[in-house]
Amino acid sequence: MKHLTWLITLITLIMLSACNNETQKNDVVLTKIEEAPLTYILPSPKTDGKMSVEKALAQRRSHRAYQDKALSAEQLSQILWSAYGITKPVEDNPDRPSSRPSFRGGFRTAPSAGATFPFEIYAIVGNVSGIEPGVYKYISENHKLVRVIDQDVRVELRKAALDQMMVEQAPATVFWSAIFERATVRYGDRGRERYVCMDLGHSGQNVYLQAEAMGLGTCAIGAFTDADVSRVLQLPAEEEPLYMMPVGYIVVRQ
């Protein structure tokens, strides 16, 4: 009888442990909010990883071919956070003098001239587990995605990007548009001609290094027809298309 009691206790403990593990797993799964428009609250990003910055720098390459394999919501969350995520929230002060920056949510993973943060970040989703295909705006202040187009536009985007197949192959693409006025209102033409370009390089390199650290591949793309990309992504008039980076599992060449 004692052996039977011990066995039942052991089985109960194992079942409780399994339930706890499952709960912990569920804690990191994104939250889907059934609103109009559809919104996903993304899993919290990690601030520590297994690969050093030095190793990621040494191994970083541009990869132009991707496997037909889905990304996870956690992976997309981490990539978007690396591009433009908030690292220290700062509340904007309406009484702040015009010469002082508006942080638009706080300090971020990428630096910006005068903290003007001129970019809008989008995720073009085709094959990401738990996220419906479509075009989403990344809202860094709440680390969430808000759907702006409810269909997979990878084929149309590939055509607008001069038929670069990696745009269609990748399960997801990070896209940057710029609202130049955020920089020019403080810096004039220099903001448009120099500072926004500098900001873009910071953000894009973050995605390169984050993808490398996660065992994924990416490639920066600036070759596309602006008007066609704006039409495919239905960008607002004040946003100008700048950059896109497909992200996925790379095809290993033998």
Residue 195 sits in a domain whose CATH number is 3.40.109.10
- Percent of residues, the chain, with pLDDT higher than 70: 83
Q: Is residue 13 domain-resident?
A: no
Q: Which two tokens stand for residue 30?
A: 């994104």
Evaluate whether residue 177 is within a structural domain: yes
Extract the tokens encoding 37.
């428009």
Interval 189-240: pLDDT, tens: 999 999 999 999 999 999 999 999 999 999 999 999 999 999 999 999 999 9
Residue 147, domain member (yes or no) = yes
Residue 146's Cβ-count burial label (10 Å; 0-12, 13-18, 19+) is: middle
Burial 54-81 (b: 16+ CB within 10 A, else e): eebeeebeebbbbeeebbbbbbbbbbbb
Higher pLDDT, 113 or 15: 113
Omega before 246 cis (within 30°)? Answer: no
Q: Residue 176 phi/psi, 5° resolution?
A: -115, 130
What pLDDT does 33 receive? Answer: 81
The Cβ of residue 124 has, within 10 Å, a number of other Cβ atoms equal to: 25
Residue of higher predicted confidence among 44 and 15: 44
**Alpha-carbon distance 21 to 31, whole Å?**
18
Is a pLDDT exceeding 90 seen at residue 103?
no
pLDDT digits (tens, 9 = 90+) for 166-182: 999 999 999 999 999 99
Question: What local confidence, expressed as pLDDT, does residue 121 receive?
Answer: 98
Structural domain total, the chain: 1
Is residue 78 assigned to a domain?
Answer: yes
Q: Is residue 189 part of a domain?
A: yes
Tokens of 127: 């094959």
Could you tell me if residue 25 is inside a domain? no
pLDDT for residue 110? 97
Task: Specify the pLDDT at position 105.
Answer: 84
Within-domain flag for 155: yes
pLDDT reading at 25 higher than 60: no
- What is the span of the domain harbouring residue 101? 32-248
Report if residue 7 sits inside a domain.
Answer: no
| Per-chain mean pLDDT for the chain | 88
Alpha-carbon span 98 to 86, nearest angstrom: 23
